[in-house]
Structures are given as structure tokens and as C-alpha cells.
Structure 1
Amino acid sequence: MSMQQPTMEEAAASSLSLLQLAFTAAVATAALAAAVAVARYNRRYRGLRLPPGPPGWPVVGNLFQVAFSGKLFIHYIRDLRREYGPILTLRMGQRTLVIISGAEVAHEALVEKGAEFASRPRENTTRNIFSSNKFTVNSAVYGPEWRSLRRNMVSGMLSASRLREFGRARRRAMDRFVARMRAEAAASPDGASVWVLRNARFAVFCILLDMTFGLLDLDEEHIVRIDAVMKRVLLAVGVRMDDYLPFLRPFFWRHQRRALAVRAEQVVTLLPLINRRRAILREMQGSSPPPDPSVAAPFSYLDSLLDLRVEGRDGAPSDDELVTLCAELINGGTDTTATAIEWGMARIVDNPSIQARLHEEIARQVGDARPVDEKDTDAMPYLQAFVKELLRKHPPTYFSLTHAAVRPGSKLAGYDVPADANLDIFLPTISEDPKLWERPAEFDPERFLSGGEAADMTGSAGIRMIPFGAGRRICPGLAMGTTHIALMVARMVQAFEWRAHPSQPPPDFKDKVEFTVVMDRPLLAAVKPRSLAF
């Protein structure tokens, strides 16, 4: 007996019923997840006195208000500060953000109660793929693992003595940097055009690549390929909607798959550099002649990681973790420094008197017989004042890395701060506070010269500007960053006379957020090489 086949109409009706059933199930699941989220949120924060903030909607909180405000988040926060004060709360889906935008509250959180707010949130996001589940200095939760990683980074890479040892890497990168700009200007139609950020970023990347792996023979094509992969990593770790509403994560499976592919590409790109350095170290320890000094540096950050013992863990870091720790240093220092350079050169182009003062100081210190180096820059008060004012007015990021309370029961400014909340410090309103600064809207390096205003960037004595954060989780790269900014600005002014490009409108200093806070319109400048004896 044969079975009758369904007609096309019956098959279509059956498929439609299945689709309707699936849609109904999806809606029911989403509604259930939303109800559970509301119940959990209410239970978590029952009885707590949170800082004030705009009222939100069920489940999504203030998420849609922020997303559809028509403003960049950094500008939206300025508006909220005017209404709610220097500490406020935003509920972004299942995340609660406590945002500090005043110096006194920031000092309380980062210095006075630094031990209470020294951790990082335990969120489960795509970023964990690239941090080996928070096995980095910046992302690790507060505890023995973080202490081991930070201690090693400072002693093995960022101490004053170690930074001096990498002087050769900086000289190599600076010579290449100046040569690239000369070549770019000469090849341009007017013989003078230079894109600042692109060249500055490549120069900083070269320095950090040398410092991280100690490989001195990488050609430019290879460096460009590595840089392209690292840029893709930065794009892959951007915040997504499912970071705030985790029940949407199944709908972002393509993004997750892409992130995993980028991570695999990062490992494939960096692991050969790690293995090359391993082989060089074996040569150094063996009976064979030492490596050619033009091929390998005597020391690198990676050397300190290969046999690193982390408190609370067995064995040295895995290859995957080595990739993560090396990438942290490179990505953490590249865009932040390059961004500062672009803002700095925009200020120099906009105000020729600043350039004249800088060039006069460089000429007085070293003349034109040799390139300026970092020892020279330490003895240039106006250059140092320029760097401080640059970081006050244009911090590379407007938010310090997110903090979190170590345990429940913490308070700030009399308010409760839940242990699972993100504690974010908004920097511009501190460094532009008229109660702390004279003429805060003006860019004036002279404010930091003798008898002028103080510029303690660590915040330990009182917070006025903290472009690198403050307290226990202050960025360990503060000295390296300021050294590189001062050196690059000095070399650029020593080698070229900088002018506004005739095809461009005057700099308007409008900002936008990419990985860092960059100029809304990238800086194209006109340069004229100076007569030098080297």
C-alpha cells in the first residue's frame, strides 16, 4: 500500500506552521529571558543606593537612549554630567555602569580606596578570546595573577633602566620614520604633503615590535603584514549589543566566528616571531657564536615571559598566552602614542609660535649636527611642558580602563557601588575643570613652566589630569609613552618645518572615537625639510 504524497499547498502550509511555531518559541524564549533579567536585576540591587542617573526601560535600561541619542557616547556623558553630577549610573542592558567625571570622586576611587576598586569586571565577551580569559596586565582581575604579570612587565620592560636599553630600537625607528616622511613628501604632487597619523603609527609600531621580540631584521613588508593583523584584532574586540544583552548572543554567531578567525590569524602571525626568538636565545646560551647584532637585540620583553612563573599557576605561559601578552604591549602602546602625535602636530601647525619655541630649544640643545635623542628631550623644559599640555587637552582615550569593586559593600561619594558594576572614569571633564585649571579650554604649554601649574600625571598627590589612569591600576607604560611622544615630536620638528596644508581647512580639533580618540579629519600637513648636517 503506497502513501499519498502531500500537495505543494499542503507542504507550504506545513512549512509556514513550522515557521510560526519557531517564531512563537523564539518570542517566548526572549520574553522569558527578559523577565528573568528584570527579576535578577531587581534582586541584585534591592536595598542599594546607587548614584543618580536617567530612568531606563525594563531589560534594556538606558541602552536604547544612548544608542539613539544622536550623539557620540563621550558627548552624551558630558550632558548627563551637567544634570546628575560627578558620579552617575547608567544601566546598559545587563551591565551597570557607574561613571565618575569629577576629580574628588576619582581620587577617592583610585587612590584613597584604591584597594577596593582595583579589579576588573568579570564579563564574558569576545574580548576574552583575545585576552586568553583575562591573562593580561590590563584585563586580569585583582589578585596574585595580576601582580605577577604587572611586576614582570615593569621590571622586564618598562623600568627606567630597561627603557634605556632599548635606545637603539628607538633610533632605528626614528631614522626610518623621518626617511618615510621625506619620501612621502617628495612623492606627493606638491612635494610637501605628509599624512601624520599613518606615519606616526608605523613608527611606534616598529619600536614596540623591536622591544617585544628583539628581532631587528624584519623588513617593511613583513612589518606591514603584522600591523594589518593587529588592526583587525582591534576591530574584532569592539563592543557589541550582545555584550549588554547576552541572551542575544546566538544571533551574533557570525561575529563570534569572525573573532575566532581573527584570533587564529593573530596566533599564526605572532607565533613564528616567538619561535624565532626562542631559537636565538638557544644560540646565545650555546657554544655557537652570538647572533649578529643587526639581526637580534640582546634583550626583549618576550625573554622575560618565556620562563615566567605566575603566582597560583603551574608552569610557564602557553604559546597562546605568550601571543596574548606580546600583543597586549604592542596594541596598548601603538595607537595611544600615535594618536597623541597627530594631535600634537595639529597644535604645532595651528600655532607657529609653538613650533618656533620647540625648534629654538632643540637647536640650543643639540644643534643640527646629530639627531635629538631621549637624553636630550629630558633636558628640554618647553618640550616637556608641551607633552604635558598635549596629554591634558588630548588624552588618547577619554575613559580610563574599567575598574570594578573587589568585593560587595563598597561605597563612593556616599553611594553604593555593586561588585558587578563597571566603574568608568571620564577624563576630559577632570582635565578641563575650571576649578582645577586656569583657562582650561586653551592649549598653552607655558602653564607648566617654572612657577606655573602642577602636572602630576600619577594622581597620587591629587587628581588634576590622569591620561594614564591612577592608583594601583595606573598604566605601567606612562614613562614609555611620554618618552616616545617627546622624542617623536622633537625629531619631527628638528627634521621639518611644519605648515598647514593649503588644500585643508584650519584644524578644528573635532574628535571621534575609534580605538582611541582621533581627529575627526585626519591631519594632512605640508612639510619643508630643514638643512641638517646628518
Structure 2
Amino acid sequence: MSMQRQQQQPARATANLLGAMPGDSMSLAFTAAVATAAIVVAVAVARYNRKYRGLRLPPGPPGWPIVGNLFQVAFSGKLFIHYIRDLRREYGPILTLRMGVRTLVVISSAELVHEALVEKGAEFASRPAENTTRNIFSSNKFTVNSAVYGPEWRSLRRNMVSGMLSTSRLREFRPARLRAMDRFVARMRADAAASADGASVWVLRNARFAVFCILLDMTFGLLDLDEEHIVHIDAVLKRVLLAVGVRMDDYLPFLRPFFWRKQRRALAVRREQVDTLLPLINRRRAILRDMQSSPPDPNVAAPFSYLDSLLDLHIEGRQGADEELVTLCAELINGGTDTTATAIEWAMARIVDNPSIQVRLHEEIMQQVGHARAIDDKDIESMPYLQAFVKELLRKHPPTYFSLTHAAVKPGSKLAGYDVPTDANLDIFLPTISEDPKLWDRPTEFDPDRFLTGGETADMTGSAGIRMIPFGAGRRICPGLAMGTTHIALMVARMLQEFEWRAHPSQPAVDFKDKVEFTVVMNQPLLATVKPRKMSL
């Protein structure tokens, strides 16, 4: 009997190997899967090593095959900004992270940023290639922010500046700002009156609505949109921001089939965006046709809008399709709304936290215009303390912690002696620059006087040296710098002219902790108490 069993064992082993035993098929499948995974890993590692063979990349933490440092970052238990700070202490102001198929080179010192964006600005003026959800909303990188460096980007940027953001154009949009400010004040009064104590307002919500109204007016030139319609448009564009967030399959494309529901949702949001903005585009087209045949109705149409310039824009290889117009209009509105509104909330938090700042700003407003009329952008240019306050605000509370990602235009680019491949993301970490004690006296303190009696300077363009660059620097500097600082200063001044601001009893101590959403926002939204000032407008 034992001899028979011994004779059967080789046969059974052979049968197992050939998959003849149904009960062991799962084991064989698992073995095959492991073998396949091992081959995939080996191929990926070989490909990565071959791609960067001979290059001297900046230092960084060792990673795993295929995923690189992705899981180390994802499961670190820290926000990415704190993770970067930790790595900076270990590896210095230039470091490398490999995030799946993407390689990130992160720089975080003024000297390196100056080298990358000013000294070698033409070498690092592009954007990295992408095959992500964001391409759906950028019409395959057909926006000022996302376009690769070249003729198409130059045409788009030139048109945005001349058609919207130049000094002369910004002056033309002064009526749009005044209309939005009046609406803003009325909305805050109504919110305060409707609150339980008759004096409470949520700052960010109201500030965001006001900025959105300005940009909507400037973009489409439509003056008769009611509040319900504006709120609907705002809600749709908020959904767009949520839909373009980074996903795991951006770093590991082989996971994309598992994200099909999110992809389908992104396509639905894009469709909603087009269906919402295209009627506004067509209305403006109709108004322009009517303006050619008869004088326009001043109560229906603004004399000029950003869309007008886009309708006249012709770029080789692009058809000027409706969806591309939607993309370019949405870029301007989304790019300028949250960044400015977030800055306003931080500004009012600083004002509520330090009453002496409010007193000085209000005194400057009274000296400039008093209560005789509403303050406007002509006035704020002659208010040095307000200008210093805005600079200090953007130093301490930049809208984002990272400037928009850059990329090398061609192979062979170097920073600090290290190689930066063309397929790498060059990311610029901003807080360590504006917090650098070598650049700033008492960098952790909020003190607008540093730009007045303190003798410190704040060239936000970076052309005279990198000290604070909340709008980026060099060739890809945000073209909305002047517009953004104007809107922040104007809204702060108007809010202080109309109301006296105090801490809310539920928030006696302002919490300056932050968190990252689309922009860097207050961890606890600011609820404040307002008291209308006596006005003779």
C-alpha cells in the first residue's frame, strides 16, 4: 500500500503543476500573479534606471520599486507641506521625490528660486506633460497657466494681459468693481441683520461672492445677472475645482480603470461647466452683434469684456471652439476668485486680532476720503499703510504654498549643479522663503510697519531679488498680480469704511491654523461681528 502511494506522488505532483487538480488552481493563479508582478517591477525599475542613467539628481529619500516615495508620503500621517519641511531639514533646499511615474524636484530657498526663475528663466518656463483629468478642463493644456512654453502660450498670455489685466484695462473695469463693492456691502448688511445677534457675518463666503461678481462682470460683460444665477454659476465652478484634484491614478496610471466612476463624474462636471458658461458666451455674442448695428443699452452690457478679446483671438492649430472659450473664461474666474477671497479672510482675521491695525487703516481712509463717498481704487494707490498691510498679508499668508509647477524646456538643464530631467515637475515651496530669518527681520511676526519705518522691501515680482513671490516669478509669473492686489486692498478698505470689526464671542481668540483646500484657508472659518459706521454717502 505504501509502495502504491509512493508511486502515485510523482503523478500527483505532475498533475498539480499542469493545473489538473481543481482545488489547487487558485494557488497556481496566485503564483502566476506574483511572477507577473515581479516581472512588472523588474521592467519598471530597469526603465527608471535607464531613463535617468548618467544623471545626477538632487538627493532625496530612497523609494520603493514602481511607487517610489508615493506611499511614504501618502501614509506619513502628515500634511504634504509638513512632510516637505521634514525632508528639507534632512536633504537641504533642493530634493527629489519619485511619486509613481512622476519625479518631483522641490526647491525651497531664495537663491535656488532666483536661479531657476530669473537667471535660467527660459530653461524652466514650461509645464510638465500630463495625461490626467485636468486635461479635460484645460482643453488639453490650452490655458495661460497650463500651456507648454512656446508660441501658443505667448499668444494666450499676451491676449490675457492686453485684453484684461493691463493697467489701462484694469482702469476700464473700475465700474465693475464699484458695482460689486456696493453689492458686497449690501449682502453683508443683510447677513448681519439676519443673524441671531444682528451683527454676525461669515467673512469668506461674502468675500468670495464679491470677488466672483467682479470677475464674472469683467469676463462676460453682462450686468443683469441676478444673485440666484450668480450663485448657481459659482457652485458649478466650485465643482470644477473639486474635480481637478490630484488622484492616485495620476501617479500610477495602471490604476486608472479602477477610477472609472471618478472619471465619469469629471466628464459630467465638464459638461455642466460648458452648459452653464456657454449661454453667457452666446449672450455676449448677441450683444456684440447688436452693438454693431445700434448703441448698446448701458443697463444690459458693459462696453468691454475679456470674452471680447477671446472671440477675436486666432491661434494656429486651434479653432476657437466653444469649449475652448469656456475653458479660457473659467480659467480667469477660478484663478482669481479663491485666491483673493482667501486673502480677504486672512486680512480680516489679522484686523480683528489686532485692533490697532484697524484703527490705523480707518484713520488713513478718513484722511483720504472720509465718509463723503465710497472709497475706490484711485484712492488706495495713495494709502501707504494699506499698501504695506497688503504686502505683509501676502508675505505671511500666500494664497498657495507651492507656485504652479514648472518644467525644463529641454534636456541638460541644471540647478545647483544637479540635473533636472524634462519630465520632472519642478515645484517651488514658498513658506520657507518668506520665513527665512536671513531675508526678514522677525519673520514670524505680522507687522506692516516693516515696509514703512522698518525699511524692508517687498518686490513681489522677484526681479530685484527673491524675498516673497506669492504670484510666482519670472516668465510664468501670474499675470493677475496687479488685479489681485488691487482687489484685496479695495475690499479691505471698503469693509473698514463701512463697518467696525470685532471678534465674535464664539471665536474670542482668532485661530491662525491653516489647511490646504484649493488655496490655503483658515482651519476655522472666520465669523466676525460688524457694526455699521455712520456714513453720509
Q: TM-score, normalised by structure 1?
A: 0.94
Q: Which amino acid aligns with 1:185?
A: A
Q: Which amino acid aligns with 1:470?
A: A
1:443 aligns with 2:446: yes
Q: Give the alignment partner of residue 91 of structure 1, picking from 98, 121, 132.
A: 98
- 1:403 paired residue number: 406
Secondary structure (helix, strand or coil) at the match of 2:275 reads helix
1:365-424 per-position Cα deviation (integer Å, ceiling 9, x unaligned): 000011100000010000000000000000000100000000111000111101100000
Q: Which amino acid aligns with 1:342?
A: E
Q: Give the alignment partner of residue 209 of structure 1, picking from 211, 216, 234.
A: 216
1:513 aligns with 2:520: no
Question: 5+ unaligned residues in a row in structure 1: which ranges?
Answer: 1-13
- 1:325 paired residue number: 328
Q: Which amino acid aligns with 1:357?
A: R
Once the 2 structures are TM-superposed, how far is the Cα of residue 313 of structure 1 from its aligned partner?
2.3
Q: Which amino acid aligns with 1:299?
A: F
1:205-256 per-position Cα deviation (integer Å, ceiling 9, x unaligned): 0000000000000000000000000000000000000001111111111111
The alpha-carbon distance between structure 1 residues 17 and 265, as it changes in their structure 2 partners (threshold 3 A), is farther
Once the 2 structures are TM-superposed, how far is the Cα of residue 505 of structure 1 from its aligned partner?
4.2
- 2:196 paired residue number: 189
Aligned positions of 1:183-262 closer than 5 A = 183-262=190-269
The alpha-carbon distance between structure 1 residues 27 and 265, as it changes in their structure 2 partners (threshold 3 A), is farther
The alpha-carbon distance between structure 1 residues 386 and 17, as it changes in their structure 2 partners (threshold 3 A), is farther
Q: Which amino acid aligns with 2:514?
A: D
1:298 aligns with 2:332: no
1:413 aligns with 2:416: yes
Once the 2 structures are TM-superposed, how far is the Cα of residue 290 of structure 1 from its aligned partner?
2.2
Output the CA distance in 1 between the equivalents of 2:326 and 2:88: 40
Question: 5+ unaligned residues in a row in structure 2: which ranges?
Answer: 1-20
1:108 aligns with 2:115: yes
Aligned positions of 1:51-66 closer than 5 A = 51-66=58-73
Output the CA distance in 2 between the equivalents of 1:155 and 1:124: 31
Aligned positions of 1:295-374 closer than 5 A = 295-310=300-315, 312-313=316-317, 315=319, 317-374=320-377
- 1:9 paired residue number: none
Once the 2 structures are TM-superposed, how far is the Cα of residue 121 of structure 1 from its aligned partner?
0.2
Q: Give the alignment partner of residue 425 of structure 1, picking from 423, 428, 442.
A: 428
- Percent identity of the aligned residues? 86
1:179 aligns with 2:186: yes
The alpha-carbon distance between structure 1 residues 309 and 19, as it changes in their structure 2 partners (threshold 3 A), is farther
Output the CA distance in 1 between the equivalents of 2:160 and 2:199: 40
Once the 2 structures are TM-superposed, how far is the Cα of residue 26 of structure 1 from its aligned partner?
7.0
Once the 2 structures are TM-superposed, how far is the Cα of residue 452 of structure 1 from its aligned partner?
1.1
Output the CA distance in 2 between the equivalents of 1:199 and 1:170: 15
Output the CA distance in 2 between the equivalents of 1:15 and 1:128: 47
- 2:468 paired residue number: 465
Once the 2 structures are TM-superposed, how far is the Cα of residue 31 of structure 1 from its aligned partner?
5.2
Secondary structure (helix, strand or coil) at the match of 2:162 reads helix
Once the 2 structures are TM-superposed, how far is the Cα of residue 32 of structure 1 from its aligned partner?
4.7
1:147-181 per-position Cα deviation (integer Å, ceiling 9, x unaligned): 00000000010000000000111001000101111
1:71-116 per-position Cα deviation (integer Å, ceiling 9, x unaligned): 1111111111111111111111111100010000000000000000
Secondary structure (helix, strand or coil) at the match of 1:89 reads strand
Question: Over the residues paired in the alignment, what is the CA RMSD in angstroms?
Answer: 1.8
Asked if the contact 1:194/1:527 (under 8 Å) is kept, the reply is yes
1:481 aligns with 2:488: no
Q: Give the alignment partner of residue 275 of structure 1, picking from 268, 273, 282.
A: 282
Once the 2 structures are TM-superposed, how far is the Cα of residue 307 of structure 1 from its aligned partner?
2.1
The alpha-carbon distance between structure 1 residues 185 and 42, as it changes in their structure 2 partners (threshold 3 A), is same
Once the 2 structures are TM-superposed, how far is the Cα of residue 24 of structure 1 from its aligned partner?
7.8
Output the CA distance in 1 between the equivalents of 2:500 and 2:29: 67
1:324-349 per-position Cα deviation (integer Å, ceiling 9, x unaligned): 00000000000000000000100000
Output the CA distance in 2 between the equivalents of 1:136 and 1:22: 48
Q: TM-score, normalised by structure 2?
A: 0.94
The alpha-carbon distance between structure 1 residues 19 and 233, as it changes in their structure 2 partners (threshold 3 A), is farther
The alpha-carbon distance between structure 1 residues 27 and 195, as it changes in their structure 2 partners (threshold 3 A), is farther
- 2:14 paired residue number: none
Count of residues paired in the alignment = 517
- 1:389 paired residue number: 392
Aligned positions of 1:28-47 closer than 5 A = 32-47=39-54
Output the CA distance in 1 between the equivalents of 2:532 and 2:185: 10
1:31-51 per-position Cα deviation (integer Å, ceiling 9, x unaligned): 554443322211111111111
Asked if the contact 1:500/1:525 (under 8 Å) is kept, the reply is yes
Aligned positions of 1:78-157 closer than 5 A = 78-157=85-164
Output the CA distance in 2 between the equivalents of 1:372 and 1:43: 62
1:492 aligns with 2:495: yes
Once the 2 structures are TM-superposed, how far is the Cα of residue 508 of structure 1 from its aligned partner?
2.4
Mark the structure with the bigger radius of gyration.
Answer: 2
Output the CA distance in 1 between the equivalents of 2:142 and 2:126: 13
Asked if the contact 1:361/1:380 (under 8 Å) is kept, the reply is yes
The alpha-carbon distance between structure 1 residues 432 and 16, as it changes in their structure 2 partners (threshold 3 A), is farther
Asked if the contact 1:33/1:247 (under 8 Å) is kept, the reply is no
Output the CA distance in 2 between the equivalents of 1:208 and 1:194: 23
Q: Give the alignment partner of residue 503 of structure 1, picking from 506, 510, 529.
A: 506
Secondary structure (helix, strand or coil) at the match of 1:359 reads helix
Secondary structure (helix, strand or coil) at the match of 2:103 reads strand
Secondary structure (helix, strand or coil) at the match of 2:179 reads helix
